[in-house]
Every structure is written in C-alpha cells, then in structure tokens.
Amino acid sequence: MVGLPARGKSTIAGKLRESLRRDGIATRIFNNGELRRRLSREDTNYPEFFDPRNKVGAALRQRYAVMNLNHAKTFVNKGKRKRKVAIIDATNVSPKRRRMLSTELPENRVLFIECINNDEEILEQNIRYKVQTPEFAPLSVDEATASFKKRIQYYEGIYKPLKKERNFIRVDSFNYRILKEEVNGGLPFVDRIRDFLVTPFIKNLYLVRHGETYYNLEDRIGGDSELTREGYSQAGELRDVFRNKKIPLIFTSSLKRSVQTALPIKNAQQECKILSFSEFNEINAGVCESMTYDEIRENMPNVAAARKRNKYYYEYPQGEGYVSMEERIERGIKKVLYLSKHSDSIMMVGHRAVNRMVLSYFVFKRKEDVPYIYVPQDSYYHIAISQNRKVFQLKKFV
C-alpha cells in the first residue's frame, strides 16, 4: 500500500484480504505502524517522531519497516502453498522506501496500490476516527487532531506519487475510480484486485423510508412534516425488527420525518449514532412544495403534464428533478460507504424519491423507470454488495 495517513489504506487492505481469502488465496496484512506500536518501548506517537530530519525517529521507522518486510517475506516463502499475498500496509510514500521493497522482493511480484482521497470532509471524518484509537488515548481530541495533522504534514514533505515503479495502480478510494495504472504483465490476481478496487463494498444496508407523516395523509409533497401516530407505530415496528441486530450507524436526511423514524431504533440499540446528511433530503419540488398532487394538476396543469411526460428529467420550477438529485445522492452514498467501513450493518432512513435514487445506484435501472420504483412505508430494502455477493430484498416490517 502507498499513501498519506487517513487515505483509506488499511480499510482497503482489510477488505482486500477478505476478498482474496474468499478466493482461496492465503492473504495476510503486515502493518508497519502496528509493529512499531507493539514493539517500541519509547513514545513514538508524538508528531516530531515522523519529522524526516529526526534521525533517531527515521532510523527506528526504517528498522520496523525492514522487520515487517521480513515477516512478509517469511510468510510468502514458507510452506507449500503457492497462492499467497502479503499486503504491506504502510505509507511507503518515499521512492527510497519503495525501492527497498522492490529490491528485497521479486520485482515482478510486487504491485503498489496508491490510495488518494482529497475530499476535505471525508478526510476530516477519517481524522476524527483516527484520533479515537488507543494510540491517541493520552491526548484530548484537539491535541490528538493537531498531532495527527502535523504527522500528515511530515509525510507530505517526502511524498512522491508512484511513477517509476514497475507495477502500480493509483486509486481514488472515495470514488472507486482507478486514476492511473501501470501493470507490466506476469502479475497474478491483478484483474481480481482491479475489480475489487472499483466495486463498492457494503455488507448490509437496510434502506428504509420514513414513517407516515401528516403531509402523506393529504398527499402533500415536500415540506418538513412530522410523523403521525401511524408513522410512529411504523417506526416502532422497525425498531422491533432490528432489536436483535446491531445497527451502529443510521444515516438520515436532515428532515424531521427521517430523524423521527430513526430515533426509536437508535434508542433500542446499545451503541448507535444517527448521522444526518442534507444530501438525502427529499426532492425539492420548488414552486410546488407543500401542494397536493391534485392541486398541482388543477393549478399548474403544465407542470403536472410535463412531469408526467418525462418524470426523471423534469425539474420543478425553482426546484429539482430526479436528474438534478444525482450528484448529491451519489455524494451522500459515497460518504455512507466511507464512514460505515467499520460496521457490518447500517441503516438509511430516506424518502420516496431519495430511496429510488439510492436503489438505482446499486441496481441498474433504466432512468425512465427510476421514478416509479416501489418504495412503501411498511417495508425496507436489504442491500448487500461485494465482489461475490449481491442481495436486494424487499421485506415487510411485520
């Protein structure tokens, strides 16, 4: 692995190990930082330890890098099994460090995977996660954040992107996109790995629509209406369905009906956080907000007719269409995928149009069919995606 801290290297390494193992390939991760934390008696967590001008720090890090590399070599060379992968999980940002790896290992058997993620918001979230790990336990959150950011700066100082290495793939780990690839033949599993890098991975996503609202009763669209008694009772049923499942994260929109549906579930869980993103707010109906469908047909027949003709591409005056939600929904989903990387099961409480867009991100649908996907208020979709498993199921609460 190659990349600055907090760019998703360890997450990719962990999932890649899972994916390769499922293919019968013995795979192990060798993490420089973990070795350092485990073996060093002295404090190695202060930022200046990572200053390249700090000779003592640099020598110690080099020592752990060599030790880790030797562990990896022993693993791949030992025993009869031929299908083996050692993942060296470290920043490896300097060409010198990478030359050492290429020299010490058979060069045509080394693939460098460089992780890039320059999304400020995601980076901040990642840093927030990192500073909660035991490594930073003695520090306050602010001190730990400052310390970790300083460490990143030191790495930035010596970071040289991959260029001359024989085999490499540079991946945008937030967008599941390969940015550059140089693979010179003879490397096993590389197709499998490339495919892995561009496949969103989601263990269990439960996609729910908010419960019934006062606006729903009148067939009124948009707004920020609250749940009715029936809506709360649906939320209660949902809570019971998930009572014995761990749901550590629930993603909602920033609208009341979505958060109100999520709260009973959160309260019944031992550990659960609600993260509200405006990316998942319901389609903005512009001048038609808070009107009923009948009122639109009567008072704005042109709007109703134009929308009926081409529902996906039609944009409400001063509002959105399905087409204009694409970007924000995609961004929201990527945030969900990124932030839920440590959780087996997550939930999203969205809205009718939003959930249609979310579903169409995971299952191919013709655009013209998307605005008609069935999104009832008494059922949820279970979605699971990996290279080997694809699940889409609509299940009733009771």
- Residues that bind ligand F6P in the complex, under the rule CB under 6 A: 221-222, 282-283, 285, 351-353, 371
Q: Which is nearer to ligand F6P, 3 or 222 (CB)?
A: 222
Closest approach of Cβ 103 to ligand F6P, in Å?
Answer: 60
CA distance 233 to 230: 5
Of 169 and 285, nearer to ligand F6P (C-beta) is 285
Asked whether 303 and 288 are in contact (CB, 8 A), the reply is yes
Residue 117 or 261: the one with the smaller Cβ distance to ligand F6P is 261
All residues at 6 or more sequence positions from 351 whose CB lies less than 8 Å from its CB, including other chains: 209, 210, 253, 255, 257, 258, 280, 281, 282, 283
The residue among 8 and 222 lying less far from ligand F6P, judged by its C-beta, is 222
- The CB-of-10 to ligand F6P minimum distance in angstroms stands at 39
Question: Of 102 and 261, which CB lies nearer to ligand F6P in the complex structure?
Answer: 261
CB of 374 to ligand F6P, least distance (A): 11
Tokens encoding 332: 């929201």
Please name the helix (run of DSSP H) or strand (run of DSSP E) that holds residue 338, with its range, or none.
helix 322-339
Tell me how far, at minimum, the Cβ of 265 lies from ligand F6P, in Å: 20
Q: Are strands 202-209 and 379-385 parallel, antiparallel or unpaired?
A: antiparallel
Determine the Cα–Cα distance for residues 34 and 46; give it in Å rounded to an integer: 15
Amino acid at residue number 28: R
From the CA atom positions of the chain, what is the Rg in Å? 25
Quick one: 182 exposed, middle or buried, by C-beta within 10 A (0-12, 13-18, 19+)? Answer: middle
CB of 317: closest distance to ligand F6P in angstroms? 14
Lookup result for tokens 């949902």: 238
Of the pair 221, 348, the CB lying nearest ligand F6P is at: 221
Q: To the nearest whole angstrom, how small is the minimum distance from the Cβ of residue 108 to ligand F6P?
A: 54
